[in-house]
Amino acid sequence: MKNIKIAFFDSKQYDIDSFAKINDAFKFEIKYYKNHLNIDTVSLAKGYDAICAFVNDALSKEVIDQLNLLGIKLIALRCAGYNNVDLIYAYKKIHVVRVPAYSPYAVAEHAVALMLTLNRKTHRAYYRIRDNNFTINGLLGFDMYGKTAGVIGAGRIGKALVKILRGFDMNVLVFDHNPDKNFENQTNCKYVDIETIYKESDIISLNCPLTKETYHMINKETINKMKNGVMIINTGRGQLINTVDLIEALKTKKIGCAGLDVYEEESEYFFEDFSGEIISDDVLARLISFNNVLITSHQGFFTNEALSNIAHTTLNNIKDFFDGQQLANEICYKCDKPECRKKNKGRCF
């Protein structure tokens, strides 16, 4: 295999550190760019064989056209989600691979961290104590034991979350288009329809991908079906929630609290430092103003183990592509199943 050159976009120091360590075994030539990939920066990919992109890189039709003209053979996503890629347009132009699983435990554990923090208000207690304020007024929580949690999406992350919540002896309801009866029996959770999740859950956690079906699945109509004071947790994708409707429900106290690791318009802010500036996004600023809303900057994946797995899988995907091997982690708009690739030697086209 020739010396493969990779243009790496939206790179942070932790990306560079983790990829550099794993790349010792692959020997790729990687150029790390701080820039997000978009129509204004795509020219930076000139002279490279592949590009490595993250969740806030915009792989639109125009960008794909330019990558194609520049001779880019492969888009290697270092994430599981791919809603930022125009897969229909990319089909038969550029292959796209991803990292379907890096550490389901990392994201599931972060979801539980959001739940516990919101419930017991430890973030607020921390700042009180630093001000020598030892009162506990306003910090009242509830026992997780015996409460009902609704988990929407039972992939690897959702299942890891179910196991943790069952450890609290919670009643766990699960919605997924492909119910796993063996898992249901093993964990004593219960697969139900989405309406039951909305109506019966004290805590609702979103762990599903963003699709046409799930876009704004949490909205005024579905919120009205929920219990008063319900807790909403989102570690999936920001656009699963209609944020304007969420804010209204927080104001009326229909929703008791919300833990968000993602946000609809996060690409402008998340992963960047704006501590010296004013947030111009009025919706985000309003969310931040609530003392019962906890926002983290898409850090659910952020563990040592996950970073190592992301780097290894991404670089191995690139190696398999240029070695002519089948692409176990390729995605296309037609399907995301290995069976469709049998006629193309393990590739979508």
Of the listed 298, 312, 330, 341, which one is catalytic?
298
- Residue 341: pLDDT band (50, 70, 90) is low
Question: Which among 95, 266, 312, 341 is annotated as catalytic?
Answer: 266
Share of the chain above pLDDT 90, in %: 88
Give all strands (DSSP E) within 146-268, no chain letters: 148-152, 171-175, 190-191, 203-206, 230-234, 255-260
pLDDT at 249: 98
Using the predicted structure, report yes or no on whether residue 155 has a pLDDT greater than 90: yes
Annotated active-site residue 237? The verdict is: yes
User: What phi, psi does 302 have (nearest 5°)?
Assistant: -85, 80
The angle subtended at Cα 257 by Cα 109 and Cα 226, nearest 5°, is: 100
Among residues 127, 171, 131, the alpha carbon closest in space to that of 151 is found at 171
Tens digits of per-residue pLDDT, 206-221?
Answer: 999 899 999 999 999 9
pLDDT tens-digit readout, 309-334? 999 999 999 999 999 999 999 998 77
pLDDT score, position 278: 92
Q: What mean pLDDT do residues 284-310 have?
A: 96
Place of tokens 């991908």: 209
Flag whether pLDDT at 117 surpasses 80: yes
Express each pLDDT in 18-56 by its tens digit.
Answer: 999 999 999 999 999 999 999 999 999 999 999 999 998
Coil, strand or helix: which one is 341? Answer: helix
Q: Of residues 36, 98, 237, 341, which has the active-site annotation?
A: 237
Is the confidence at residue 336, as pLDDT, over 60?
no
User: Once rounded to an integer, what is the mean pLDDT over residues 289-311?
Assistant: 96
Q: Is 156 labeled as catalytic in the residue annotation?
A: no
Mean pLDDT of the chain: 94
Average pLDDT over residues 124-133: 97
**What is d(CA 330, CA 148) in angstroms, rounded to the nearest whole number?**
37
Sheet containing strand 29-32, edge to edge, reads 29-32, 5-8, 50-53, 74-77, 95-97
Residue with the bigger pLDDT between 308 and 347: it is: 308
Report residue 161: phi and psi, to 5°.
-65, -45
Least confident piece of the model among 87-91, 121-125, 264-268, 303-307: 264-268
Which domains, and CATH codes, for the chain?
Answer: 5-102+303-344 (3.40.50.720), 104-295 (3.40.50.720)
Q: Average pLDDT, stretch 121-135?
A: 97
Are the C-beta atoms of 160 and 104 separated by less than 8 Å?
yes
Q: Which pLDDT belongs to residue 1?
A: 61
CB burial of residue 241 (10 Å; 0-12, 13-18, 19+) = buried
- Residue 290: the pLDDT is 97
**Per-residue pLDDT averaged across 258-276, rounded?**
91
Q: What is the pLDDT of residue 339?
A: 54
Q: What is the pLDDT of residues 160-183, one digit of tens each?
A: 999 999 999 999 999 999 999 999
Q: Is the backbone of residue 335 left (phi > 0), alpha (psi -120 to 50) or beta?
A: beta
Looking at residue 320, what is its pLDDT?
96
266 included as an active-site residue: yes
- Comparing 67 with 272, the larger pLDDT belongs to 67
Q: What per-residue confidence (pLDDT) applies to 177?
A: 95
